[in-house]
Chains A and B, each alone.
Chain A
Amino acid sequence: MKKLLLVLTMAFSASVMYAGGYRVGVQGHKQLAMGHTGVAVVTSAESAFFNPAGLVYLDGELNVSVGAAVILSNTTYQNREFGYSAESDNPIGTPFYAYGSYKINDWLSAGLAVYTPYGSRVTWPTDWEGSHLVNDIELSAVFVQPTLSIKLTDNFSIGGGPIYVTGAVNFNRNLSRSLTDEAGNRSNVTVDASGINAWGYTIGAMFRPTEDIILGFNYRSKIEMEVERGDGTADFENLPAALAPGFADGDFTSSLPLPAELTFGASYEVSDKWLVAFDYTRTFWDAYESLDVQFFNDAGLSRNPRNYKNSSIYKIGAQYVATQKVTVRGGFYYDESPTRDGFFAPETPRPDSVNFTAGFTYNLNSRWAIDASVLYVHSSETENSYDSFVEAGQAISFGGDYKSNAFVAGIGVSYKL
């Protein structure tokens, strides 16, 4: 028992990562606990996300993993020159996953994956100094992915499938830095849309050069979430009576890219008890050039340049079979921010982060197991600004010091037949 605790403690003092932008890297408690590695790991149905090519190598006829987590995240802001300080009070995020894989025959498995890789919940104090950029935002997307996994040779397999996405957004910001109604309430707009659908795909390959080593590759395509006319509502509040007729409630159009992700990695089974894994993920954030929202009243086109850059995640994880019942895991990842200097918008306040993960599996019996993981996201203090807010034809800078962290804890079950 003492030994187990020691392993857990060590796992915590090592480090793991989360994800930049509005990516939420919580796609399976076994793999999250190992620093969210998994492209070259064959342990459970979680492979449906990490690398569909791995499903065909799973033991057992039927593998199921379901789980959920809570995300507690905080960002603090301050500006020394003007004495501003604010702390975001973010609602708890609840990513979840459900993976199932069925072995049709020795060389073919079919599966279904449901997961939530993108999302964001940020709530700043209403009317804070950055309220012309964002008061609060809630983004969510559920991916549904039918999957096939095919063993081409004993040591090489491929897998993949189409992805159906359904997403929702709710975003509130003030219309300007100073506009209010007659009673002094800040004029603001809320855009809301749900049931936004789009399609994408994932493909993967896995190569097992020796019994102990696995190499993996996975690519998930970019998916563009487009809000068309009539899909959502734009609700304008607190306009002065003289301007209100020009800012009637209505709909809006917009689009938000869920960027493509390329991962490759390796795992090595050091011994019967130890497994280590390394993943590298490249996220093609350059797809996120601008968050443009077209209103159909006097608000017109709201252009919000983002100018994201592609970013990398470096992950490492390990698993240790402590006893017949208990497997413990730990990991670390470093997550580069896709944000450029001068484009640091407080609606996705994510600087570079170091991430520590840990978790365990407890086997109830030969079929059922409980999986749990925790993730701590730590970002160092960053001084940055968003310089592309336009007011009366001038680009206005909003900046200061930001510091954020997040804590994720989750639990799930696995079933193997």
Chain B
Amino acid sequence: MKKNIKYLAILALGLFACEPEFDNPIDESGTYTSGSADFSTFVAVGNSLTAGFMDGTVFRSGQQNSFPNIMAEQFAFAGGGTFTQPSYDDDVNDSGGFLLAGSPIPGFDTRLVIDASEGGPENLNVMPTMEVSNLQATAYNNMGIPGAKSFHLGFPGYGDIANLAIGAANPYYVRHATSPTATVIGDATSLDPTFFALWIGNNDILAFATSGGTGVDQTGNPNVLSYGFNDITDPGVFAFTYQALIDALTANGAKGIVATLPDVTSIPYFTTVPFNPIPMDAATAAFANNAYMTYNGGLQFAVGNGLLSAAEAAQRAISFSAGQNSVVIIDEDLTDLSGFGIPSLRQTTINDLLVLPSSGIIGTLANQADPTSVIGVGVPLTDNLVLTETEIQLVRTARTAYNTTITTIAAANDLAVVDMAAVLEQLVSGLRTSDGQIYTNNYFDGSSDALSTAVFSLDGVHPNSRGYAIVADEFIRTINEKYGANVPRVTAGYYPGVTVVPTN
């Protein structure tokens, strides 16, 4: 009998050893493939979107969810190799923001968080810890440089710390440029990529747009050294630069993916504040109208003297009524009547875009002692807070030209093109992922639902981690299609969204 028990035990062990095995386990080799692509050395080149910039900066934990890093995690299923990113180990507070010689660099603040006690976004109230002069001098697989325009990528000295003072260098690149004269594209190609992603050109128009169109449209001017930061890059320069970037990246036969540039009306920075955000009752409207009687009369005077068309006078006439009202703005594209003491004012229309920062300004008092100095009513909103219809058209014209360049050059080099313009367009009406969730381009509205569904970060321009997961998924979907690859997709729902702190 003892013997039998032994046999029984052996039988039992034999059965127990049968852990449930799938008929086709996904960890079996051959489940995921790279198709005709080779992901062993993946290099991503671009700007803030590639760097994992969100909430106004790049911070340590956010960078982990840069879209190329998410892609690389999925590429690992299909022959992908190590993917390195610029070191943020020195971001001790996980706050982002830069110091130079121990002092914070203006414009490179800590990340935005929602302060629950105030109900709005604020820079995280801690001291940045990353010292730009601690040079890493390393080429990384993630060569996304926040703020870079197309032509910056081939610009020697863009990573030279000595150039920071004159505004010709970028602290993000300074931190890891392999030498003071290195270029971003040179550092990228030094890694000898087998596969690349290139998403560049956003800042060539976006800087103009986010500045409320305060820059200059440089179309026709190829001299980039004469450009201001808020200018629109000449489409000829863009095309020339883009060709050079693709030539460099494909020099060793690498395949890759490029992305188109989305429209400004796809991002909450321009869509959150409505054109008519000012509520008024009839009495207030009448009072406000009274204050503009002189201005409106002046317009009629100008029409009578042939200085102004009747149409423009109608466009410029200021009028409030009970209900939601448009904002009074300064519009430099109006006929200049300042010589007659008539300012260039009009009210916004549905075709103008008020930028996100205007939400904290419209309705406040320009002069605390003067209750009639309400900004947007008694005091006009400044030009930098509104992207006017005319300015939008400049941005769109340039964007269309850039996108034509991108798709044409990609086609000529047989590269995959992910139409991020179309993807972000979908967010306007709602993008449904395969798990059933619907994501929009709405700015975080403070609701508990938005904790799970916001895909744009608090800067209103860049996606948050969840949004970058959607971006990575679209890149992968396109790569699978173009190269016959089978790389696993990404579920955006598992990625974090907004950071809310109780007080700041």
Residues of A within 8 A of B (CB): 1, 4-5, 8-9, 12, 72, 74-76, 78-83, 85, 87, 129, 176-180, 182, 184, 240-243, 325-326, 360, 362, 372, 374, 376, 379, 381, 387, 391-398, 401, 403-405, 407, 409
Minimum Cβ distance to chain B for residue A356 (Å): 8
19 other A-B residue contacts (CB within 8 Å) besides A75-B20, A178-B496: A4-B4, A8-B4, A72-B16, A76-B19, A78-B26, A80-B488, A83-B26, A83-B74, A85-B26, A178-B495, A178-B497, A184-B496, A374-B12, A381-B23, A392-B449, A392-B450, A393-B449, A401-B22, A407-B15
20 A-B pairs with C-beta separation under 8 A: A1-B3, A74-B19, A81-B488, A82-B491, A83-B77, A85-B26, A177-B493, A178-B495, A178-B496, A180-B496, A182-B501, A240-B500, A362-B1, A379-B20, A381-B23, A391-B453, A396-B436, A396-B493, A397-B434, A403-B22
- In contact, B488 and A326 (Cβ under 8 angstroms): no
Complex: A392 Cα to B440 Cα, angstroms: 12
Contacts of A394 in B (CB 8 A): 436-438
- In contact, B31 and A177 (Cβ under 8 angstroms): no
- In contact, B489 and A392 (Cβ under 8 angstroms): no
Minimum Cβ distance to chain B for residue A70 (Å): 10
Given A326-B1, A381-B23, A391-B437, A242–B116 Cβ distance below 8 Å? yes
B341 within 8 Å of A by Cβ?
no
Complex: A368 Cα to B32 Cα, angstroms: 59
Contacts of A79 in B (CB 8 A): 26
B27 within 8 Å of A by Cβ?
yes
Q: Which of B15, B61, B502 has the most CB of A within 10 A?
A: B15
Minimum Cβ distance to chain A for residue B354 (Å): 27
- In contact, A80 and B26 (Cβ under 8 angstroms): yes
Complex: A5 Cα to B502 Cα, angstroms: 70
Which residue from A81, A242, A396 sits with its C-beta under 8 Å from B437?
Answer: A396
Give the top 4 A-B pairs by smallest Cβ distance, nearest first: A83-B488, A392-B449, A403-B20, A242-B500
Given A83-B32, A179-B451, A381-B23, A407–B12 Cβ distance below 8 Å? yes
Which residue from A242, A326, A376, A401 sits with its C-beta under 8 Å from B501?
Answer: A242
Closest residue of A by beta carbon distance from B3: A1
Contacts of B21 in A (CB 8 A): 76, 403
Contacts of B22 in A (CB 8 A): 76, 78, 381, 401, 403
Query: Which B5-55 residues have C-beta < 8 A from chain A?
Result: 7-8, 11-12, 15-16, 18-23, 25-27, 31-32
Contacts of B1 in A (CB 8 A): 325-326, 362
- In contact, A397 and B435 (Cβ under 8 angstroms): yes
Which residue from A75, A397, A401 sits with its C-beta under 8 Å from B436?
Answer: A397
- In contact, B7 and A8 (Cβ under 8 angstroms): yes
Contacts of A360 in B (CB 8 A): 4
Query: Which B245-279 residues have C-beta < 8 A from chain A?
Result: none
Complex: A180 Cα to B500 Cα, angstroms: 11
B349 within 8 Å of A by Cβ?
no
Complex: A209 Cα to B91 Cα, angstroms: 84
Contacts of B496 in A (CB 8 A): 178, 180, 184
- In contact, B490 and A82 (Cβ under 8 angstroms): yes
Minimum Cβ distance to chain B for residue A315 (Å): 19
Q: Which of A8, A242, A401 has the most CB of B within 10 A?
A: A242
B340 within 8 Å of A by Cβ?
no
- In contact, A178 and B15 (Cβ under 8 angstroms): no
Minimum Cβ distance to chain A for residue B19 (Å): 5
B133 within 8 Å of A by Cβ?
no
- In contact, B18 and A85 (Cβ under 8 angstroms): no
Complex: A241 Cα to B20 Cα, angstroms: 41
Contacts of A376 in B (CB 8 A): 15
- In contact, A178 and B493 (Cβ under 8 angstroms): yes
Complex: A243 Cα to B499 Cα, angstroms: 11
Contacts of B16 in A (CB 8 A): 72, 407
B466 within 8 Å of A by Cβ?
yes
Which residue from A1, A83, A243 sits with its C-beta under 8 Å from B4?
Answer: A1
Contacts of A243 in B (CB 8 A): 500
Minimum Cβ distance to chain B for residue A90 (Å): 12
Minimum Cβ distance to chain A for residue B43 (Å): 22
Given A374-B12, A387-B436, A391-B437, A184–B61 Cβ distance below 8 Å? yes
Contacts of B497 in A (CB 8 A): 178
Contacts of A178 in B (CB 8 A): 451-452, 466, 493-497
Closest residue of B by beta carbon distance from A411: B5
Contacts of B493 in A (CB 8 A): 177-178, 391, 396
Closest residue of B by beta carbon distance from A374: B12
Complex: A129 Cα to B26 Cα, angstroms: 16
Given A178-B494, A242-B116, A404-B20, A8–B501 Cβ distance below 8 Å? no
Complex: A296 Cα to B488 Cα, angstroms: 40
Contacts of A129 in B (CB 8 A): 491, 494
